[in-house]
């Protein structure tokens, strides 16, 4: 009986290990059919140099370390500015496996020894002609400052509307887009430059740079 109990325990332990591997493989997209994801990701390089009254200042590649960690199939890192106001916007759009893309948030990346969160992260809805979107908005300030100097908006998408998801890792698709846009907050009583940029950028991004990935299996 003792021998049988040991065998049963070993079988259960092996089963749990296998189940854990299957679940982990599902979450990072290894166990599903993969279309040409690099080709889909390349669409992000087709974004225009001018969006509304915003002009491209610089386009760069995602850093090698970040690219390796995230396993991106495609990405674009850009800076735009609006000559009429001097506002500048930094953005990153990533396309990659759901697991790595879902877990990295700006509250971790932007918080450093001299920078702290300024208030709670909140959701903002954007009701545009192309669709209804929701994004997270986080604000940051220098540790010794009274007001925020930076706000960051971010969300995830499967190729459709952008979503301020709480648990994007459990989205019912194995790959995701992530959008992150940073800029200075609006002056007192003035609209947010980040919001104004997103209002003209999101329809262009959907048309030029993205493809539905929820049904590509």
CA distance 192 to 195: 5
CA distance 204 to 206: 5
What would the DSSP string read from start to end of 196-214?
HHHHHHHHHHHHHT----T
In this prediction, residue 171 has a pLDDT band, given cuts at 50, 70 and 90, of confident
- Which residues have a Cβ under 8 Å from the Cβ of 71 and sit 6 or more positions away? 96, 97, 100
In this prediction, residue 15 has a pLDDT band, given cuts at 50, 70 and 90, of low
Q: What is the pLDDT of residues 41-93, one digit of tens each?
A: 899 998 999 999 999 999 998 878 777 888 889 999 999 999 999 999 999 99
In this prediction, residue 183 has a pLDDT band, given cuts at 50, 70 and 90, of very high
For residue 216, pLDDT over 50 is answered with: no
In this prediction, residue 188 has a pLDDT band, given cuts at 50, 70 and 90, of confident
Which of 20-29, 30-39, 173-182 is the most confident on average?
173-182
For residue 9, pLDDT over 60 is answered with: no
Which of 7-21, 101-115, 143-157, 203-217 is the most confident on average?
143-157
| Residue among 107, 114, 85 at smallest CA distance from 184 | 85
Tokens of 145: 């400052």
């Amino acid at each position: 009986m003792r021998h049988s109990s040991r065998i049963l325990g070993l079988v259960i332990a092996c089963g749990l290990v296998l189940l854990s591997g299957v679940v982990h493989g599902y979450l990072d997209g290894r166990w599903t059919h993969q279309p040409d994801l690099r080709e889909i990701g390349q669409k992000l390089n087709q974004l225009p140099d001018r969006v509304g009254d915003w002009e491209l200042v610089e386009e760069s590649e995602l850093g090698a370390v970040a690219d390796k960690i995230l396993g991106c199939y495609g990405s674009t890192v850009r800076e735009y500015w609006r000559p009429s106001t001097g506002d500048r916007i930094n953005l990153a759009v990533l396309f990659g496996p759901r697991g790595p893309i879902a877990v990295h948030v700006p509250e971790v990346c932007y918080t450093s020894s001299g920078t702290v969160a300024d208030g709670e992260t909140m959701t903002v809805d954007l009701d545009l002609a192309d669709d209804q979107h929701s994004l997270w908005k986080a604000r940051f300030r220098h540790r010794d400052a009274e007001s925020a100097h930076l706000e960051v908006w971010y969300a995830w998408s499967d190729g459709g509307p952008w979503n301020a998801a709480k648990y994007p890792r459990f989205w019912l698709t194995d790959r995701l887009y992530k959008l992150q846009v940073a800029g200075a907050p609006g002056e007192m009583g003035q609209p947010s430059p980040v919001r104004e940029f997103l209002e003209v950028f999101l329809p262009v991004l959907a048309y030029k740079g993205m493809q539905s990935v929820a049904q590509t299996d």
